[in-house]
A and B are shown apart, each in its own frame.
Chain A
């Protein structure tokens, strides 16, 4: 039987096949999550309703239509609409903060009749389009740093609005997308070095202070007077690197100052964080300090994945999942269910599918003739890379727990819609690679 051509998206077969397999994988895992453990007479407590599976079936269908649409939308028209769309989305995000409904302590959702929508998810698309438009246009008249800083401002605006909701995970996605696109645009490596080293500096400072006092709960802000340990060693190494680096003296001074400043700025930043965010970061360094609270998720997720072994406990038979030890197992922690039931090899297959899309997306970005298309493609690649790497790192305990879903796999309409539209755009761009 031949599938009608209008049902087949154009472009790269690898990307579409991976999308399809990931969606089917999502349905399989959600079926497992909503299925009671065989032989138990106690209803799961707290259980995940079967409804989650059937709703996701609907979302996959919606995602498919979105993918088809995005794969066929005229790219030129899209570029023209990019800035207005982005501005509209910013207004929506601002309105959401002002008058949006408060659901479990945050204003993330927009109620559309029975559906709950996260505008921040769709904002990722409009941001990518707008940034790609700005960067692509500037490449023709080459205004360099000004445009880079302009897109940085756009990114900071998005991230700031989302952070206010509050939603740290999504805010960080904008940062990651911007870094990817700016790097593609030609942002000097020194910027990345500066940002990266500043980040490293703050983490090391935090960590050294934490290990020194080993009393993270009491009063972190009051014990910041003495900076010692790994951070001091790090600054010494940085000094050595800067001495031999072939960059201007001004850049060296700026880099050093940036590192010291972020270190000194940490206490003020720390004060700005919400209590639960502070708690999560502290718990990341020592999950046992709150093993029934915010450390619980991290511990149980690691136990699920680690106990899966090479081949897993087999489909439907994971006890971490089945006995409800694993929290958020249908959303942010669905990768832990894959690890537990399908083992290391199952997780590898999953990562391979994502890697396929990412690497093919990189090809698409490189081969696209029009700069706008190239930047959109690299934005999509950055989006996907960030989500997958951060989500898997959280579930395996490499990063502190933050709400970052696994694209296509985690239950949820916004996630499915955003990911499918972005992949549709990738297909669209790939099918027009050699056109002007």
Chain B
């Protein structure tokens, strides 16, 4: 090789090397300077994963601070949706199925369904047990992407005891998202209150979910370096109810398994002390996956366990309504305390119809008090005829009938108090006669009331209208959170001496009238029985009472469906509950709830 040739080849070699290194340098510069931001974002995207942290739901306590509902955490073993490829052999998945003894077909079907639903993570083992969780944690380096996720689950500590009042939570559905309106915080699979207090106080109980950025490694495991809260979790706030656990247990115990309900209310504070609807259901079933058979059994139960009989159900008030008719008659001067009307001969003829009294042989000559004590229909037919339908309706409304009185429950019924306008609309002007007054006067016909309205009526009669609106939630704050209007009831339009007379007469009902079975040895009880005609079957038994007569502190309504006579079926239930109230408790009707709600917001995220 000549020196010139060598020199030439050396130059070419040199040029080639420099050119190649030049290309590398330019490319490196382009990647690290102009494209630096792009790659930095990619690196961040790689390692930062956004986690949404559900807030722990506020707990529910009774008036003494006893926990009624709290949260527990359940763990699911989850895998990334991208890691599940149906139809392909997957050794990791096979191993997991084996370790956790999972039924193969069922699990694969569930994973497939979840993947098709577009979930980012699939639940491999729902409700994992401690050994299963430990198994995952031990082997996590060999299980890329497999993770234990916890989620809070609602727990109702007294099963069916408070089911209708507290309600239950369930997964958010489309209807909930629609009604949630502007609240963007709800995601599918979140829990939302579906009934009762859970639904009424949803805003307070829920809190707000947080968003956290976590650094993960290539296997998808959180490495615990610099978690960053984009948005802090706001835990739901606790809520304290006015209900008393022992009184609720007494009520449920007295009612037994008969379909019906009872509500007790303080005549001083308006606080609801017990409210039970029978038959009840276990709300814990609503937060867990339930088998189809279990669910069908609940749904198709002819006794309708989901039906809230003190809030949703409406019945004719029957003879309980005679108190209203009496007060209206006295208010408008059509009768006095001792008025004696035409004698009862087992009924009353009006127009071409004969209106029966419940007592076939008749009550004979009775005065106003005797008529109420013995619940004489004939007497009240005549009082009704002396009144205008609007006068009677106004008296009923003044006592709280015809409108929702708790105000916070979406499911609460308003009942119906028909007046002239209502009949005109229904039958057309002149399409109805004064005969409707006869039915209205004894609480039948179109009249409909809820048991809650009737206990409020009893408490208002007992307190001469001074009792506040019924309330289920202890502090005013929470009451407002639950959406209750801060309205105080209007004063009663009845004369104090008329109310006095009514209370004394109602005491006679229990002392030696139809309500004798609610009598207590040492406490004077005032009450009224009722037997609501039921076209579909046996009559509904009503009993409404308050005690003590001199200084009433507690009112109670009991209703037993298809049971027959109120005096024999409902009054004993009331009697046994009152016995517990006066002899086994510190009489919580006397004072409002004092204890502030417990601090602990319930669980940790």
* A residues at B contact (CB < 8 Å): 37-46, 139, 180, 183-186, 292, 300, 302-310, 319-320, 323-325, 339, 343-344, 347-348, 351, 355, 358-359, 362, 365-366, 371, 378, 381, 385, 389, 392-393, 396, 398
Measured CB to CB, the closest approach of chain B to A131, in angstroms, equals: 16
Measured CB to CB, the closest approach of chain B to A125, in angstroms, equals: 21
* B interface residues, how many (CB within 8 angstroms): 45
Measured CB to CB, the closest approach of chain B to A279, in angstroms, equals: 17
Q: Give B6's nearest chain A residue, CB to CB.
A: A366
B522 at the interface (CB under 8 A from A): no
Known: A43-B141, A396-B27. A308 touches B32 (CB 8 A): yes
A307 near B10 (CB under 8 angstroms)? no
CA–CA, A189 and B541, complex, Å: 114
Measured CB to CB, the closest approach of chain B to A330, in angstroms, equals: 15
Residues of A within 8 A of B119 (CB): none
CA–CA, A222 and B338, complex, Å: 111
Among B38-46, B154-162, B169-177, B304-312, the one that faces the other chain is: B38-46
B17 near A183 (CB under 8 angstroms)? no
A-B contact pairs, 21 of them (CB 8 A): A40-B223, A42-B217, A42-B223, A44-B217, A45-B144, A45-B217, A180-B13, A292-B82, A302-B31, A305-B32, A305-B39, A306-B39, A308-B32, A309-B33, A309-B40, A320-B43, A323-B47, A324-B217, A324-B218, A365-B10, A398-B23
Residues of B within 8 A of A44 (CB): 217
* Set B29, B33, B144, B223: member contacting A37, Cβ < 8 A: B223
* Set A139, A304, A359: member contacting B17, Cβ < 8 A: A359
Chain B at the A interface: mostly helix, strand, loop or mixed? helix
CA–CA, A195 and B14, complex, Å: 20
Known: A42-B223, A307-B39, A396-B24. A385 touches B32 (CB 8 A): no
What mask results when residues 408 to 428 of chain B are scored 1 for a CB within 8 Å of chain A, else 0?
Answer: 000000000000000000000
Measured CB to CB, the closest approach of chain B to A121, in angstroms, equals: 23
A305 near B31 (CB under 8 angstroms)? yes
B585 at the interface (CB under 8 A from A): no
B20 near A385 (CB under 8 angstroms)? yes
A323 near B17 (CB under 8 angstroms)? no
CA–CA, A354 and B46, complex, Å: 32
Q: Which of B5-24 contact A (CB under 8 A)?
A: 5-7, 9-10, 12-14, 17, 20-21, 23-24
B43 near A351 (CB under 8 angstroms)? no
Measured CB to CB, the closest approach of chain A to B177, in angstroms, equals: 34
Measured CB to CB, the closest approach of chain B to A8, in angstroms, equals: 28
A362 near B28 (CB under 8 angstroms)? no
CA–CA, A180 and B140, complex, Å: 50
What mask results when residues 187 to 218 of chain B are scored 1 for a CB within 8 Å of chain A, else 0?
Answer: 00000000000000000000000000001111
* Set B6, B14, B36, B215: member contacting A307, Cβ < 8 A: B36
* Set B12, B20, B219: member contacting A324, Cβ < 8 A: B219
Q: Give B20's nearest chain A residue, CB to CB.
A: A389
Residues of A within 8 A of B600 (CB): none
CA–CA, A20 and B219, complex, Å: 36
A37 near B225 (CB under 8 angstroms)? yes
Shortest 7 CB-CB distances between A and B: which pairs? A306-B39, A40-B223, A324-B218, A307-B43, A323-B217, A344-B32, A307-B39
* B residues at A contact (CB < 8 Å): 1, 5-7, 9-10, 12-14, 17, 20-21, 23-25, 27-29, 31-33, 35-36, 38-40, 42-43, 46-47, 82, 140-141, 144, 215-219, 221-226
Measured CB to CB, the closest approach of chain B to A267, in angstroms, equals: 29
Residues of B within 8 A of A347 (CB): 28, 32
Residue among A139, A323, A366 with the most chain B CB within 10 A?
Answer: A323
A323 near B218 (CB under 8 angstroms)? yes
Residues of A within 8 A of B28 (CB): 305, 339, 344, 347-348, 392, 396
Residues of A within 8 A of B5 (CB): 186
CA–CA, A351 and B32, complex, Å: 15
Q: Give A365's nearest chain B residue, CB to CB.
A: B10
Known: A302-B31, A362-B10, A389-B21. A45 touches B40 (CB 8 A): no
Residues of B within 8 A of A362 (CB): 10, 13-14, 17
Measured CB to CB, the closest approach of chain B to A352, in angstroms, equals: 9
Measured CB to CB, the closest approach of chain A to B5, in angstroms, equals: 7
A303 near B24 (CB under 8 angstroms)? no
CA–CA, A378 and B1, complex, Å: 15
CA–CA, A146 and B5, complex, Å: 20
Residues of A within 8 A of B25 (CB): 348, 351
A319 near B43 (CB under 8 angstroms)? yes
CA–CA, A338 and B141, complex, Å: 27
* Set B9, B82, B141, B225: member contacting A45, Cβ < 8 A: B141
Q: Give A390's nearest chain B residue, CB to CB.
A: B20
* Set B9, B36, B46: member contacting A184, Cβ < 8 A: B9
A307 near B221 (CB under 8 angstroms)? no
CA–CA, A306 and B29, complex, Å: 9
Residues of A within 8 A of B10 (CB): 362, 365-366
CA–CA, A348 and B144, complex, Å: 36
Given contact pairs A185-B1, A385-B17, enumerate 4 new A-B contacts (beta carbons under 8 Å). Answer: A306-B42, A307-B42, A310-B32, A324-B217
CA–CA, A351 and B82, complex, Å: 40
CA–CA, A385 and B25, complex, Å: 14
CA–CA, A397 and B139, complex, Å: 35
A351 near B24 (CB under 8 angstroms)? yes
B46 near A303 (CB under 8 angstroms)? yes
Residues of B within 8 A of A39 (CB): 224-226
Residues of B within 8 A of A398 (CB): 23-24, 27
CA–CA, A42 and B46, complex, Å: 17
Residues of B within 8 A of A359 (CB): 14, 17
Known: A389-B21, A393-B24. A323 touches B1 (CB 8 A): no
Residues of B within 8 A of A308 (CB): 32
Residues of B within 8 A of A306 (CB): 31-32, 35-36, 38-40, 42
Q: Give A313's nearest chain B residue, CB to CB.
A: B43
Known: A42-B222, A319-B43. A355 touches B17 (CB 8 A): yes
Measured CB to CB, the closest approach of chain B to A370, in angstroms, equals: 12
CA–CA, A190 and B453, complex, Å: 106
CA–CA, A324 and B27, complex, Å: 24
CA–CA, A46 and B144, complex, Å: 10
Residues of B within 8 A of A180 (CB): 13
A309 near B36 (CB under 8 angstroms)? yes
Residues of A within 8 A of B222 (CB): 42
* Set A40, A304, A310, A396: member contacting B224, Cβ < 8 A: A40
Known: A43-B141, A302-B39, A309-B36. A392 touches B9 (CB 8 A): no
Measured CB to CB, the closest approach of chain A to B352, in angstroms, equals: 90
CA–CA, A344 and B224, complex, Å: 29
Residues of A within 8 A of B46 (CB): 300, 303, 319-320, 323, 325
A303 near B223 (CB under 8 angstroms)? no
A46 near B141 (CB under 8 angstroms)? yes
A139 near B31 (CB under 8 angstroms)? no
Residues of B within 8 A of A303 (CB): 39, 42-43, 46
Q: Give A292's nearest chain B residue, CB to CB.
A: B82
Residues of B within 8 A of A310 (CB): 32-33, 36
Residues of B within 8 A of A46 (CB): 141, 219
Residue among B9, B13, B14, B40 with the most chain A CB within 10 A?
Answer: B13
Measured CB to CB, the closest approach of chain B to A160, in angstroms, equals: 26
CA–CA, A247 and B497, complex, Å: 133
Measured CB to CB, the closest approach of chain B to A332, in angstroms, equals: 16
CA–CA, A304 and B1, complex, Å: 47
